[in-house]
Structure 1
Amino acid sequence: MRKIATILVLVFFVISCKTGDDKDSYTLPTSNGNTNRIMVVTKGADWDGKIGDAIRTVFGEHQVGLPQPETLLSVSQVDPVGFSSFMRHGKAVLILKRGVKEGITVQKNRYATPQIIVHATAKDEAGLLKILNKRGKEIIKLFKDEDIRFTQRLFKKDRIDETKFKTIKSIGLTLDIPKRYRLVEDTGEFIWFRQHLKSGIARGDGTNNILIYSIPLEDENKIADNITAVRDTIGKKYIPGSKEGMYMITEQAYTPFTFDAEIDGKKAYETRGKWEVKNDFMAGPFINYTIIDKKNNRLVIFEGFTYAPSVNKRDFLFELEAIAKSMKIN
């Protein structure tokens, strides 16, 4: 009987120590690290040389549409010798190493969960520099996409019940908005949610905001050119300032950037820029997704905007991006 018990304990220990990408990952420790931040594993000499310069150039590109310069990703470095024990639990890791087989490989949930490790391997310094310069945007996308999925999983656990809101039911969609967002207005054609940023880095009257509405689809070739005009019309109608004659508009001194995108398998446009209140001093960044819903002959529009004076705003906009990309249109 004692032998059987010993065998069972050994079997349980072996099973518990297994690490896999999915089904066994629950045995792993929880990863550490915030969104939009990666740890680079490379030698100190490389970090202080050409490789470090390339990393800072590629990952140090500024996110468009923000009032103050903020990089796409924040980067820290650790020497391979130090990449052990607790340091291996980082949520997002880029490992640069020398090897015969050049290229990029991805591991998920290797030492912790959730975790993504991107291995960039080349024969020498010149090869690593080539990977960083040629495939840097691809590496950034790997990390950003994983951060989006991680954030969406968190939001899904504590989301609002969208069936309670007239506009969302009328448009016919689902999306994962955290319960900390509160309803401001719901007309049946337009809905506005707001989260007050009363703690953390945005102490004061800062807010994160979500707007959702739809308009008829007319000339598909003119959608991108009309995004600013549409959002200014909505701002005048629904987003007032503190006094009469004040309302939200697109900042006139800054031209927004528009990119091709995809939401729920549908063609869309992503626009990033700055908003301001006409005849007032309030301003901040916005992100707009204009989605072409051909089935219903309309455009479904999700917009997020942030008001958080004197603090960085990249991560607030990232949260709004994650919410937008959770959208499913009926």
Structure 2
Amino acid sequence: MKKLISIIIITITLSACVGNDKIILRDSVGKINKVMVVAKTSDWTGDIGKEIKNSFGELMVGLPQPEPILSVSQVAPNGFSSMMNAGRNILIISEGEKESYTVRTNVYAKPQTIISVQAKDDESILKLLQKHKKDIRKTFLASDIKFTQNIFKKDKIDNSTYKTLSNLGVSFTIPSRFRTVEDTGEFLWLRNHLTSGIAKTGSNNILVYSVPLIDENLVAENIVSVRNSIGKKFIPGSDPETMYMITEEAYTPFTFDAELDGKKAYETRGKWEVKNDFMAGPFLNYTVVDKKNNRLVVFEGFTYAPSVSKRAFLFELEAIAKSMKIK
């Protein structure tokens, strides 16, 4: 009888863990923009570790203080146990006769991205890391974007309640903690007041608007002048006549090719300031070429958080921007 009960318990347990031949995975753990590297200590303290740290440690452009694109931590292979393998972003370095670069998802937990780099010796591993450096960073960042967007979906704003979004025919996955500053029907400004730690006097901000598409070849070079005109018109300082948002004159923004909602776009990162005042911070601008409607759709996020790191705030705005859908 006891044996029969044991068999029933095991069967129920297996049934609870398996459905449609798929094991139900536990939730992954780990901070946004952080990667756990599984590598021997000798590799981590040598050239392989140096290559990884230099690659992930490249500074994010447009931030007032130096902050890396990705943060890293290391664990030795013999320490990569069931206690550790639930990390959301994992890079595994190993030696083997077969050279390989693989990307796997949801192996030990969900959501999870595991990149494995294997080669016969240190020199070959270094070459693989250098060859796939951009792909590795892009894969982990894209994974974190998707993870962040899924969190926002659980408590998001109703886009139809905003005149500007309805009139422009655009939508975003924006967490409901953002509040309306202005919604004219042509220009939307949302703000999330930061409420924790030293940043509690700051805010994360979203701007959405459109401008006519006049010459597609001049879009990139006109991004700064467009945002300056919008700042002067809609983002005043304490004295609206003499104080308003502009692109920081002492810092040249960086503009990259991008794609949003399947459309050509430009990503611009830089610093904003209030003319004739002391307020400043980083901004992230996506200008999307909407040929169908002969216009440029602009999403801009900017952060005001004095004296604290701002990478996480900008990443949140990036995740929101990349959820854009245009009718």
Q: Verify same fold: TM over 0.5.
A: yes
**Which of 143, 151, 157 pairs up with 1:154?**
151
TM-score, with structure 2 as normaliser: 0.95
Q: Which runs of 5+ in 1 are unaligned?
A: none
* Alpha-carbon distance between aligned partners in 2 of 1:24 and 1:159, rounded to the nearest angstrom: 30
**Which of 208, 211, 214 pairs up with 1:215?**
211
* Alpha-carbon distance between aligned partners in 1 of 2:137 and 2:185, rounded to the nearest angstrom: 39
* Alpha-carbon distance between aligned partners in 1 of 2:65 and 2:46, rounded to the nearest angstrom: 28
On the 8 A contact 1:58/1:132 being kept in 2, the answer is: no
**Which of 279, 283, 288 pairs up with 2:276?**
279
Deviations 1:108-148 (A, max 9, x none): 11111211111111111011111111211110111000001
Given the superposition, is the C-alpha separation of residues 18 and 78 from structure 1 closer, same or farther in structure 2, using an over 3 Å criterion?
farther
* Alpha-carbon distance between aligned partners in 2 of 1:12 and 1:161, rounded to the nearest angstrom: 41
Which segment drifts farther, 104-113 or 72-81?
A: 104-113
* Alpha-carbon distance between aligned partners in 1 of 2:322 and 2:51, rounded to the nearest angstrom: 30
* Alpha-carbon distance between aligned partners in 2 of 1:316 and 1:157, rounded to the nearest angstrom: 19
TM-score, with structure 1 as normaliser: 0.95
On the 8 A contact 1:19/1:28 being kept in 2, the answer is: no
* Alpha-carbon distance between aligned partners in 2 of 1:8 and 1:149, rounded to the nearest angstrom: 40
Figure out how many residues of one structure are paired with residues of the other and give that number: 326
Q: Is 1:10 aligned to residue 7 of structure 2?
A: no
**Which of 161, 174, 177 pairs up with 1:177?**
174
**Which of 238, 242, 250 pairs up with 1:245?**
242
Deviations 1:221-257 (A, max 9, x none): 0000000000000000000011231000000011100
CA displacement at 1:18 relative to structure 2? 4.9
* Alpha-carbon distance between aligned partners in 1 of 2:301 and 2:121, rounded to the nearest angstrom: 44
- Structure 2 counterpart of 1:10, one-letter code: I
Which segment drifts farther, 295-304 or 108-117?
A: 108-117
Percentage of pairs with the same residue: 61
**Which of 62, 67, 74 pairs up with 2:71?**
74
What secondary structure does 1:85 align onto?
coil
Q: Which runs of 5+ in 2 are unaligned?
A: none
Q: Is 1:255 aligned to residue 255 of structure 2?
A: no
Q: Superposition pairs for residues 59-70 of structure 1, below 5 Å?
A: 59-70=56-67
**Which of 295, 304, 314 pairs up with 1:307?**
304
Q: Which residue of 1 aligns with 2:33?
A: 36
* Alpha-carbon distance between aligned partners in 2 of 1:46 and 1:148, rounded to the nearest angstrom: 30
What secondary structure does 1:300 align onto?
strand
